[in-house]
Amino acid sequence: MEFSQHLLDLAAKAEAALAERFAEIDRISFQNTQKVMDAFRNHRVSEAMFNPTSGYGYDDRGRDTLDQIWAEVMGAESAFVRHSIVNGTQALTIGLFGLLRPNDILFSIAGKPYDTLDEVIGNAGEAGNGSLRDFGVEYRQADLLPDGSFDIEAIRKTLSEEGERIKVVFIQRSKGYLNRKTLSVAQIGAIIPLVRELAPNAYVVVDNCYGEFTETIEPTAVGADMIIGSLIKNPGGGMAETGGYIAGTARAVELASYRLTSVGCGCEVGASLGQNKNMFKGLFYAPHTTAQALKTAHFAAYIFGEDGLGFEVEPHWSEPRHDIIQTVITRSPEGLCAFCRGIQAGSPIDSFVTPEPWAMPGYSDQVIMAAGAFTQGSSIELSADGPLREPYTAFFQGGLTYESGKIGILSAAREVLGE
């Protein structure tokens, strides 16, 4: 793959500017790797834990040990990790349905959740399909302020008025398909005391997708009752073929486990079918792999931002990051599609394929997705996507290695420039 001298010079300029930021990412990766390795040693991980179980999966030592390791790494009381969870949306569904009951209120305090939760909540789709709304759960929302911070006044008002009925206070850490800043763990921790004061019986649930290992602690370490994520994003390290996790307080995780399987069975069942090794290995790689994705995102912000091609980007290349997502506002359908074509062409798998927008299940707009990934839909691998709606924002994430991510970004720049 050949690039113009203009793009190669811009890449060299970007890497020189990013040297200090890259060093900070490496520091965080080292601390998180140390934490993961300590957990492996503490729980005496052995090759025997990679042996598969079948049927009911009773006494699956590897599965149960991985749950314990996950809880320790996430700073939680309890956790479960399962290859049978098909995506982050299902993991979130398990958590929400596990905690909410008829006449309860789900209160989202970071604006609208990710698009695929619309039908889960009941804000879209047909009545009777089995949404939370169908089961008598109501929904409230407080949007973030223009600067990306929590609207304390609006949150306080709703908590004061509905405190007894609010069972889940929901926080989406990442921006999802919104043009807003990602929330830091510190921001999440700072809002929890207000929730405890005005709605002491509510669970604080954080959609942690895309945020794992970007900082040295997770939201459960600052008081969240439950965090939820997907293994084909950060915590699977590019090794997990599928799966999801839930971590949090013992009671919250227990209730979610009853939704995962059945009341009374919970986490006691579930055959690993030979997937344990990939999940253990993925967690081992996760801090480093996430660091590679972060470096790729910083590089993309420089190349496409004000110091490079002049697009509006978020975050800026010089800012610290709390997830792996980089946005590039293209301002046109063709610009968005060109960006995705470039990412696809710069991918290791299906580089010859041309991505096209389509009506993807669970989304209200046509979506274009570029993902030349070893694992279908893996967001920790080089990928880009976005809904075909104004301002036509490309949401970029991933990069199993910085070197391959750099090639993908330069490929996207070449396609956008028409070179």
Q: Identify the pLDDT of residue 352.
A: 96
Residue pair 399/408 in contact by the 8 Å Cβ criterion: yes
38 located within any domain? no
Residue pair 58/268 in contact by the 8 Å Cβ criterion: yes
The SS3 of residue 204 is strand
Percent of the chain with pLDDT over 70: 100
Percent of the chain with pLDDT over 90: 95
For the chain, the distance separating the N- and C-terminal CA atoms, rounded to the nearest angstrom, is 12
| Residue 239, phi then psi, degrees to nearest 5 | -105, -35
- Whether 265 and 348 map to the same domain: the answer is no
- Find the mean pLDDT for residues 283-290: 98
- Whether 381 and 332 map to the same domain: the answer is yes
| Beta strand 326-329 pairing with 203-207 | unpaired
- Whether 74 and 23 map to the same domain: the answer is no
Residue pair 248/75 in contact by the 8 Å Cβ criterion: no
Query: To the nearest whole number, what is the mean pLDDT of the chain?
Result: 96
Tokens for 52, please give them.
Answer: 């598969």
77-115 pLDDT, tens per residue?
999 999 999 999 999 999 999 999 999 999 999 999 998
Tokens for 279, please give them.
Answer: 């999940």
pTM for the whole thing?
A: 0.95
Residue pair 190/155 in contact by the 8 Å Cβ criterion: no
Q: Residue with structure tokens 């969240």?
A: 224
298-336 pLDDT, tens per residue?
999 999 999 999 999 999 999 999 999 999 999 999 999
- Whether 232 and 301 map to the same domain: the answer is no
**How many residues does the structure list for the chain?**
419
| Residue 171, phi then psi, degrees to nearest 5 | -130, 120
The DSSP call for residue 48 is G
Q: Identify the pLDDT of residue 175.
A: 87
Domain containing residue 23? 5-32+284-417
45 located within any domain? no
389-418 pLDDT, tens per residue?
999 999 999 999 999 999 999 999 999 999
- Whether 166 and 219 map to the same domain: the answer is yes
**396 closest CA partner among 419, 407, 380:** 380
212-226 pLDDT, tens per residue?
999 999 999 999 999
Q: Identify the pLDDT of residue 392.
A: 95
15-36 pLDDT, tens per residue?
999 999 999 999 999 999 999 9
Taking phi first (over 0 means left), then psi (-120 to 50 degrees means alpha), and beta for anything else, what does residue 63 get? alpha
Q: Which of 229, 250, 281 is the last residue of a domain?
A: 281
Residue pair 38/284 in contact by the 8 Å Cβ criterion: no
Residue pair 326/312 in contact by the 8 Å Cβ criterion: no
Q: Identify the pLDDT of residue 7.
A: 97
Q: Identify the pLDDT of residue 361.
A: 77
- Whether 91 and 187 map to the same domain: the answer is yes
- Whether 61 and 192 map to the same domain: the answer is yes
pLDDT tops 90 at residue 4? yes
39 located within any domain? no
- Whether 240 and 381 map to the same domain: the answer is no
pLDDT tops 80 at residue 364? no
- The count of domains in the chain is 2
CB neighbours (10 Å) of residue 43?
16
